[in-house]
Amino acid sequence: MTKLSVNINKIATVRNARGGNMPDVAKAATDCERFGAEGITVHPRPDERHIRYSDVREIKPLITTEFNIEGNPIPSFMDLVLETKPTQVTLVPDAEDAITSNAGWDTIRNKDFLTEICGTFRKAGIRTSIFIDPKPEMAEGAALCGADRVELYTESYAAGFRLSPEKAIEPYLKTALKVRECGLGLNAGHDLSLENLEYFIRNIPWTDEVSIGHAIICDALYMGLEKTIQAYLSKVKIF
């Protein structure tokens, strides 16, 4: 059954815009769990414009479900992950000045680098997921790198959903089948929403986890955080 991991970066963005500790990011993380979230995701960037490294250290001992840290495996990020030892690390090839993640890894071209990174985290007992575009060959490459899972970058699915759900899901289904064939776990994230989430899960029911942040926080402005998380859970708990 698919798990819902809530990305709390946007909560930190609101806090950082004003300074101080309102909203309290650590409390938000535990509240998300209390409201039903089955994991918490953070994506600290080098400029700390939303989640800070100090947030990660504060949140980790509070999490009772799964803790997922996303990011580009630069040395400072590697050190943070090895120090805090989350349930999962998701490797994302984002540039330091990227507004948000905008591409997956080329797991073939970067095989040597990713193999070394996956090996380091495996030795530390941390499940490793590689963020990829919906291309079967990238899933095969991730398996060869020693990853435990991949996370499908779902921006193009979300962008094409309103025009043609069938066409939008097609490359994701093909890639998800290859992921399963390779024996990898399957995550998905980026621009998933109440509008498009259920269709994705119905077509790829072996999805292990979805990581959603921006849409959840936007919906929570109108619905409240607890009701929003429950609404998203209803979209993934359909089997």
Give the CATH number, domain containing residue 87: 3.20.20.70
141: nearest Cα among 172, 168, 104, 173: 104
Catalytic residue among 66, 140, 155, 190: 190
Mean pLDDT of 85-105: 81
User: Domain residues for 186?
Assistant: 3-236
70 noted as active-site residue: yes
Number of domains in the chain: 1
pLDDT in tens, 183-229: 999 999 999 999 999 999 999 999 999 999 999 999 999 999 999 99
Catalytic residue among 70, 151, 155, 209: 70
97, exposed or middle or buried, with CB in 10 Å at 0-12, 13-18, 19+?
Answer: exposed
Look up residue 28 and give its two tokens: 């938000």
Catalytic residue among 33, 43, 50, 66: 43
**Which string of DSSP letters, residue by residue, matches 44-67?**
--TT-SSS-HHHHHHHGGG-SSEE
d(CA 37, CA 228): 10
Q: Which residues pair with 91 in a beta bridge?
A: 71, 130
d(CA 127, CA 70): 12
* Residue 126 backbone phi and psi in degrees, to 5: -105, 125
pLDDT in tens, 115-133: 999 999 999 999 999 999 9
pLDDT in tens, 27-79: 999 999 999 999 999 999 988 999 999 999 999 999 999 999 999 999 999 99
* Residue 121 backbone phi and psi in degrees, to 5: -75, -35
pLDDT, position 99: 52
| Number of Cβ atoms within 10 Å of the Cβ of 179 | 28
Percent pLDDT > 70 in the chain is: 97
